[in-house]
A and B are shown apart, each in its own frame.
Chain A
Amino acid sequence: MSEFIENLWSQFAVETQEHIEDIELKLVESEQNGASAEPVSALFRAFHSLKGLATAMDMHSLARVAHSAEDVLGLVREGELQLNSDIVSLLLAALDEIKLLCQSAATSHTDAEVNSYVLQQLTGISASIVRPAVDMNPVASDDRHSDTPLQADPEMLGYFVELAREKTAVITRILEPLCSMSEREIELNGGEFHELAAEEIEQFSYAGRTMGFLNLVEILARLRDALPADSRFDCDSRKTIIESLWELHDQLRYIEHSGGFLDAGANRLHTILSDAMQINIRRLFTRVLDQLDVLQESDRDNQDLIAQSLQADLSALNSHLAFFMYNPNCNIILMLEDVFSRAARGELHLFSEIIDMTREEVTHVMEHYRGCSDGGACVRDDGEIARNIQRIHDYIWAYESGCGAGNPVEAFRQFMGGLNIEPELLKILSPENVRELMQALENGEQVYEVSAHLESNEEMTSTFLAWIESGRSRIITNRSLFIDDKSWYEMLMVSPLSRSEINSNLKAIDPDGSNLCLKPWTGGIPAREKLLKSIEEPPERQQLNTDSGGISSNVIRVQGESLDGFMNLIGEMVLARSRLNHVINHERLNCAMTLLRQMDTVSSHGCAELLDLLEKHRRELVETDQLLNNSLGRLQASAVGLRVVPVEMVFKRLPRVVRDLARNQGKRVRLEMGGQEVKIDKAMVDILTDPLLHLVRNCVDHGIETPDERSLAGKVKEAVIRVSAAQRGNGIVIEISDDGKGIDTDKVLRKAVELGLVNRDKADSLPREAILGFIFEPGFSTAATVTETSGRGVGMDVVMTNVLRMGGTITVDSEAVRGTTFTLLMPLSAAIQEVIMVEVSDNILAIPGRWVVEVAEIDNENIQTVRGDEAVLLRGDFLPLHRLSKLLGYPDSVSERSASTVVVLSSGSQTIGLAVDKVLRRQELFVKDIQEMVASLPGVSGASILGNGHVVLILDAEDLLRLAKSSRQRNQAT
């Protein structure tokens, strides 16, 4: 048979087994709790899958049984049939039949005979119910596409909304940093945002298109186009992104409403956007202030760059504030943005006073904003804002225009105030305009305001423009405005011509004065010689630091495959770490250093340095090793967390067992299970199943009374068995409790005395726990009759052994009439063990740590020999002493030492001392699978590899105790 087919069959066995277990559990549950729709369709599905598998593998008998059972469940599903106790029993019988057929199929790959009785019963039920005829006509092919739009399908809308929620969250997370980054940062990192977000947006958009949400698709397209591909990104794109996200928010709201207030993520988006913006605003404030500090410290060449980044930040700040309807201070920010954009273009100098004023203003706005977002009043005096703007404006304009010495700002203000021209025209004057104006006045020219309507009369317009160009009059600045639906230009003009000359010139161009007019001059002329001075050079500054922000981390998806390989790798890493540790602490390094030290005393000078170097090197190695060890520990812990399965895997076999047993014995039992979701190591599932089954069986068998007995005891007739699991620290606790009659301690004690487990005299003083502990002794049973399931006294000791072997513990508590509780405490993982490393006859061996009670150094003279057996008095108790070398059959090691190192081993009931040559250390070992040959050696349970690459055998403490016992018996026999 080919490997392919072989593999297929073994997989077939696994899958059918899974279905069978699943069906069993669900059937029993349904019978107990009444059949609800969910388990019935799951049952139907499981039988159906069995049928499918059987058909595919040509197992027709199996397919027939599964098919008949499926039919019966189909009837239940359709409400034609009740899933009562009879039907459940029948289906369980069918399941047993299926089990047999599956077994035969899996082992011999042949189709076995069907038990025709079960089949008849099943088909009989189906046949007894007349079903309405099903329309078997195939669907007409043009009926495939429905006309109803997908939006109208509530399920479809639900799925879409779910997807929308997910996508919105991802997209927002990706784009959030963009909202606050400076342009330079975006230039560097923008491409990544583009890539990351574009794909998500594309997927979102596809879904939106499918659903017919065209507005959404449009918004998403806009968002995608605004993303920074390569380095093409500016403040406008950022604005578009923020705007699109808000539009997306509105659209999601709309979709939510149309779907009856589903959650498409609008709220979340709103929160994220607002939160992000709040955070950004704070961040921007801080960054602006920081950059202002840097700016003050930096030299002139760098100022452009910082100014550029400041401008971007101020712009971002402005749009952020505007989104919160936080308008009052926007004008100031806008003004500052303008200042820094001029500075970035090299149009103005950033004197430290300007920086100071900016800082002052930004701080003002920030404090005010904080007051608002903390719920304070959000009004700021308009007049104050205007005055502050004016202050900065005047300062900059004064210096840039080069106003006269002394107090330039004062001079500038006087000059501007003295001009007495249209305030709107004054506002738009740039510092250069002002300078030009001053220059003109100093040269004895005059200032004029001319209004012109240039659109109605082309001829006049060209004459006027020609006059301006040819003449000595110049336009400093102008603005356009509408008067009586006509567009006018208001111009500020300087000219050496007198007012009357200008007037007559204009008259010549526009005789009736309807299109051109000269505003009468009313102001005085400022003192000319004091107007200008040379522009101050800002002092040279130190270089600056540009700040750079990283991109926030992203989520990476990892496939859950090859987990075992992963675990093995971690195991190997743990081994490699031990090896590193071994190398670091190796004797030869010490030897080398001692040698060096000796040479040093001889005198060589370089030796001391070399020694220092080595010592330093070693210290660093040790530190690194510790670091590595820490992270490995965490890695190991999380890896263990990966290979876990829910404890449900173990629990699911319990209901059937309880049901069958209770039925057999005429008892009424309800099984309650809790904590099925608690996770355990996959390897533990198999080991745990048998002990649990046994404990539960015991409960039904011994613990629980018949309904009549319960009535007599004043209890409800139906007994309850509770099985629950919970995680506690590094392990899990499984509790099995019943409300039965409890364990009769007197009976247990009598039996224990009878079996010679305890001395009759001592018996009365034994504590309750100790008495209860006897039930775990081999061969112990208090049952009067031996039944199929219990009473033979085999079992509890096996349970105990299994649990201990896995590194767990089991305790029992019982109270007459109230019931019994077994508590199992199991480790999460079975793969890593703590061991004590010992040396015996030049061999290094590991003893599982949990069996070791203590390690003692015992003087040889305290060791006594009684009838060939050694024993030692340890804290008042005689401890049987064994040479480990002897137990394992190693050659005796010769020792001149006057004392022996003894490892005290205890299983709870039996305690022995093991004499070893040396106890090396306590450490954790990763247990490797070992071959049968090795596993069958007495006293060996596993193997591991040490840091130095040596294989070390892990001893089986239980086996050692047994070996010790038998060697003692042998000695006594001789």
Chain B
Amino acid sequence: MPKTIIVVDDSFVMRTLIKDILSVDPDLQVVGEAANGIETLEKVRQLQPDLLLLDIEMPGMDGIECLKRLKLLSPCKVVIVSSVAQAGSQQAMESRKLGAFDVISKPSGALSLDLKAKKGSDIVKISRRAVGLPE
């Protein structure tokens, strides 16, 4: 059984790119996506995924609020995907305090990545680690 993932980002392009990268790993399966906090909570409630890839900068409900609300909903793991939330930033610290597994940056030049680069990307590596799959 592959581990289930929900990808959250307000940009369709970003979600598509992230899903494309994740598609190289048969152990990881994207079962849903969401474009904002409210949608995220609804999807998590419905799909109960193993992992959530969460953008921290979203209009409406921001990532931190979303994280807090998630805690009340599901034990799923959360990896923050955002370029603002670089390690050391306030948001990174706060999201880790709230139980986020890790903070990674958004994919760069994702269009030109080859299979090997995708497999070796943070998105795949950290996702595997978050759900307890061997590296």
The chain A residues found within 8 Å of chain B, CB to CB, are 4-5, 8, 11-12, 15, 42, 45, 48-49, 51-53, 55-58, 134-139, 143-146, 150, 153, 155-156, 159-160, 163, 203, 206-207, 210-211
Q: Which of B11, B13, B65 has the most CB of A within 10 A?
A: B13
A136 contacts B73, C-beta separation under 8 Å? no
List the B residue with the shortest CB-CB distance to A44.
B57
Q: Is B131 part of the binding interface, using a Cβ–Cβ cutoff of 8 Å?
A: no
Q: Is the CB of B68 within 8 A of A11?
A: no
Which residue of B is nearest A141, CB measured? B96
Interchain Cβ contacts under 8 Å between A and B, 27 examples? A8-B111, A11-B13, A15-B11, A45-B59, A49-B10, A52-B14, A52-B83, A53-B11, A53-B13, A55-B108, A56-B13, A56-B14, A56-B17, A57-B110, A58-B112, A134-B89, A135-B88, A136-B88, A139-B92, A139-B96, A153-B68, A155-B68, A156-B71, A159-B65, A163-B69, A203-B45, A207-B73
User: Per-residue 0/1 for B87-106: is the Cβ within 8 Å of any A Cβ (1 yes, 0 no)?
Assistant: 11100110011010000001
Select one of A4, A49, A135, A207 contacting B11, CB under 8 A. Answer: A49
Q: What is the CB-to-nearest-CB distance from B67 to chain A, in angstroms, rounded to a whole number?
A: 10
Contact between B107 and A11 (Cβ–Cβ < 8 Å)? no
A144 to B94, CA, bound (A): 8
With A4-B20, A48-B57, A206-B72 given, name 13 new contacts (CB 8 A): A8-B16, A12-B13, A52-B14, A56-B14, A56-B108, A57-B111, A135-B88, A136-B88, A143-B93, A159-B69, A163-B72, A203-B73, A211-B72
In the complex, are the beta carbons of A48 and B13 less than 8 A apart?
no
Question: In the bound complex, what is the Cα–Cα distance between A207 and B72 (angstroms)?
Answer: 4
Q: Distance (Å) between the CB of A49 and the closest chain B CB?
A: 6
Q: For B74, what are the chain A residues with a Cβ–Cβ distance below 8 Å?
A: 206
The answer, yes or no, to whether B84 is at the interface (CB within 8 Å) is yes
CB distance from B7 to the nearest CB of A (A): 13
Check if B26 is an interface residue, CB within 8 A of chain A.
Answer: no
B132 within 8 A of A: no
Interfacial chain B residues near A160, Cβ < 8 Å: 72
Give Cα A203–Cα B97 distance, bound, in whole angstroms.
23
Q: Would B68 and A139 count as touching, CB distance under 8 A?
A: no
CB distance from A213 to the nearest CB of B (A): 11
Interface pair A138/B88, CB less than 8 Å apart: yes
Least distance between A842 CB and chain B CB atoms (Å): 50
A residues near B92, Cβ cutoff 8 Å: 139
Q: How far is the CA of A145 from the CA of B109 in the complex (A)?
A: 34
Cα distance, A821 to B88, chains bound together (Å): 55
CB distance B111 to A143 under 8 Å?
Answer: no
Provide the B75-93 mask, 1 if CB < 8 A to any CB of A, else 0: 0000000011001110011
Q: Which residues of chain B from 1 to 56 have a CB within 8 Å of any chain A CB?
A: 10-14, 16-17, 20, 45
Known A15-B11, A52-B11, A57-B111; judge A210-B72 contact (CB<8 A).
yes
User: Which residues of chain B are near A57, meaning CB under 8 Å?
Assistant: 13, 109-111
Q: Which residue of B lies closest to A22 (CB)?
A: B59
Q: Which residues of B contact A159 (CB under 8 A)?
A: 65, 68-69, 72
Q: How far is the CA of A156 from the CA of B109 in the complex (A)?
A: 37
A58 to B12, CA, bound (A): 16
CA A963 to CA B52, docked complex, whole Å: 62
* Identity of the chain A residue whose Cβ is nearest the Cβ of B90 in the assembled complex: A134
Q: Which of B11, B87, B89, B108 has the most CB of A within 10 A?
A: B11
In the assembly, what is the distance between CA of A143 and CA of B98, in Å? 11
B89: chain A residues within 8 A (beta carbon):
134
The docked-state distance in angstroms from the alpha carbon of A155 to that of B93 is 17
Give bound CA distance, A53 to B108, whole Å. 9
Q: Which residues of chain B (98-129) have a CB below 8 Å from chain A? A: 99, 106-112
Chain A's closest residue to B12 (CB) is A11
Q: Which residues of B lie under 8 Å from residue A55 when comparing CB positions?
A: 83, 106, 108-109
- Contact: A143 with B97, CB < 8 Å? yes
Whole-angstrom distance between the Cβ of A202 and the nearest chain B Cβ: 11
B37 to chain A, nearest CB (A): 11
Q: Which residue of A lies closest to B96 (CB)?
A: A144
**Residue of B whose beta carbon sits closest to that of A67:** B83
Asked if A56 meets B111 with Cβ closer than 8 Å, knowing A45-B57, A49-B10, the reply is yes
Chain A residue with Cβ nearest B84: A48
Contact of A15 among B13, B65, B84, B87 (CB under 8 A): B13
A159-B89 Cα distance, complex, nearest whole Å: 24
Q: Which residue of A lies closest to B74 (CB)?
A: A206
Q: Known contacts A11-B12, A58-B109: does B83 contact A48 (CB below 8 Å)?
A: yes
A144 and B10 contacting across the interface, CB-CB below 8 Å: no
Given contacts A56-B14, A56-B108, A139-B92, contact A146 B72 (CB under 8 A): no
Chain A residues within 8 Å of B59, by CB:
42, 45
A12 to B57 CA separation, bound complex (whole angstroms): 18
Q: Which of B93, B97, B109 contacts A56 (CB 8 A)?
A: B109
Residue numbers in A under 8 Å from B93 (CB-CB) = 139, 143
Known: A8-B13, A11-B16. A56 touches B110 (CB 8 A): yes
Known interface pairs A56-B108, A134-B88; A15-B68 also in contact (CB < 8 Å): no
Query: Closest residue of chain A to B106, judged by CB?
Result: A52
User: Given A15-B13, A48-B83, A139-B87, A155 and B65 touching (CB < 8 A)?
Assistant: yes
Give the distance to chain B from A885, nearest Cβ to Cβ, in Å: 51
Contact A56 B68 (CB under 8 A): no
A489 to chain B, nearest CB (A): 58
Q: How far is the CA of A12 from the CA of B17 in the complex (A)?
A: 11
Shortest CB-to-CB span from B31 to chain A, Å, is: 15
User: In this complex, which of A42, A51, A57, A143 has the most chain B Cβ atoms within 10 angstroms of its Cβ?
Assistant: A57
Q: How far is the CA of A206 from the CA of B73 in the complex (A)?
A: 7
Write out the residue numbers on chain A whose beta carbons fall within 8 Å of the beta carbon of B10: 49
Residue of A nearest to B86 (CB): A136
10 tightest A-B CB contacts, nearest first? A207-B72, A138-B87, A58-B109, A144-B96, A146-B97, A136-B88, A55-B108, A56-B110, A159-B69, A139-B93
Give the docked Cα–Cα distance between A52 and B65 (Å). Answer: 22
- Least CB separation from B93: chain A residue: A139
Cβ-closest chain B residue relative to A199: B45
